[in-house]
Structure 1
Amino acid sequence: MLLTEASEAFAHHLGDVRRLSPATVRAYRADLRDLAALAATRGVTALTDVDLELLREWLWHASERGDARSTLARRTATARALFSWALETGLVPTDPSLRLTAPKRARTLPRVAPSAALAEVMERSAAEAADGDAISRRDHAVLELLYGSGIRVSELCGIDIDDIDQQRGVVRVVGKGDRERVVPFGAPARRALQAYLPVRPALLTGTAPDAHGALFLGARGGRLSPRVVHRLVSRRIGPVMGAENVGAHALRHAAATHLLDGGADLRSVQELLGHASLGTTQIYTHVSSERLAAAYRLAHPRA
């Protein structure tokens, strides 16, 4: 089988069988297209002709290009996953990726906006929404729900009206791997949703087939896109963090860190965030520890 054909079949397997998110499947596809392009320049087109040296050269080219260590690690995982699947399905007699090593990822702590600064941002947003149009009310509800629940931007954009239970203050979301969970949100998010929902029909143009049930709508009447949410968060939260480009994940980081700072236990935060592994959630304990250490260095006379 050609490498390009195997790559496409593997991508379908990831989406249809393993139920990985569309974003993850796109990343795997992009990696494998890049591998196939390099292989073609070396005269390699068949999946069975790919060897360890070619895979190492592929990673070396990415490193020379300046790709981050996290990207190189993902590419290594992509190659391993492809050939593990190919070996199981009988497409290759041996797995050339077994000795392929990935660089260790740098353990970077996420930057977190202070809770007081975020409170000021939310107050300004609420004031603008009170006298604003449907877009400003939608934007305020988006910010409050992201921060109040800690959900991912993809989860937020996938919420339907029926997923919201305002009386109980919970929202049903579908996370990675199509895993569904119910997440609580607070009174500010509830008030923001109550102000947005009556004006939501003004955004509904009827042009998008999936928009009628969507909670958050874009300016053109379709389901709100993650790109619009990223721009909104960057515009509102970026200045208080001293950064020009801040993604929607900044509010997720803030929600997790502020919960732990407030005394929430790690398991509860893991459930809230929808992390499959507790180790993923533990990075936020390091953020809190860093803050504690910084406060100690500034305040203690024997520091």
Structure 2
Amino acid sequence: MSRNDFNFILNSIKDKISKKDTVFRKAVSPEERLAVTLRFLATGDSFTSLQYLFKISKQLISEIIPDVCRAIIDCLKDHVKMPSTCNEWKSIADAFNETWNFPNCIGAVDGKHVILQAPINSGSEFFNYKSQFSIVLMAVADADYNFIFVNIGAQGRISDGGVFKNSLIGRKMEVPYVLLGDAAFPLNEHIMKPYSGIHPVGSPKRIFNYRLSRARRVVENAFGIAASVFRVLRKPMLLQPEKAELVVMTVVTLHNFLRRSNTSRNLYTPTGSVDYVQNGEIISGYWRNDQQEMASLLPLQNIPRRTKLIAQEIREEFTEYFCTCGSVPWQNYYN
């Protein structure tokens, strides 16, 4: 983050996080409050570790971080919002078509389990398929690695399909466009997923899987970038679910803010940090080389489902388009 953006955030939230001095002690300044919160997000250090670095008690730090997170989310809320007009949705679809050669796509969807310590008195409510406690982060990304929709806080025991179906965007998907998901999502009229199994190089199904995977990588990269910078996502959070939701939403908000900042964009995502295509070959971003990211930000469970006939027909129409008038020069050589 550049100094200019730090100061911008500070000035935006100063009134919300400032405290008055008392006769007993001087209040922690807004600058220190923001600094300790950003340090926590960037490192995932324990409150005990942070208290020695900032000379602030861990009890006070446990109050400061949620307060600052709420202020950041409130002041930067316009950086994470769904399009509200047809033209805005069409702009996203045009970007997917121009950048990733996938028409009629309005986003790439994915979800992750954010691992927690066992919440108090929760029983098996947050217990996931990996025998850990977690909340689910479900997100949709645009063609430029920005989150346009997030749903945070569903219990880890709920499947990905259940999370998406009950989310705001899942309830409102009634447009002739699609989201792109991986094998963990159900195939339906509004979500396209790859064909299962192994297919010969150059076959229509292989071409479809390549084109979908190429476009869907934007959401994988958005998660990867966020986890590589905000390392609080790399470790099990020693927080109750409500505070963990605040932390995750703050990371999502700052991700979009930094991606759109003229002074911080290249600092946050330098060259080589995301996947890119060179002569038809996908070159992996450097975040994929760091396997620690996967230790506490887990993929969703793949659950077999029955598929509606209309969804299969829509996928076949995309497949035919990619093999005819919508083909690209290198797709037949993908392996």
Indicate the structure whose relative CO is greater, using CA pairs within 8 Å and at least 6 residues apart: 2
TM-score of the pair, normalised by structure 2: 0.25
- Greater share of helix residues, 1 or 2? 1
- Greater share of strand residues, 1 or 2? 2
TM-score of the pair, normalised by structure 1: 0.26
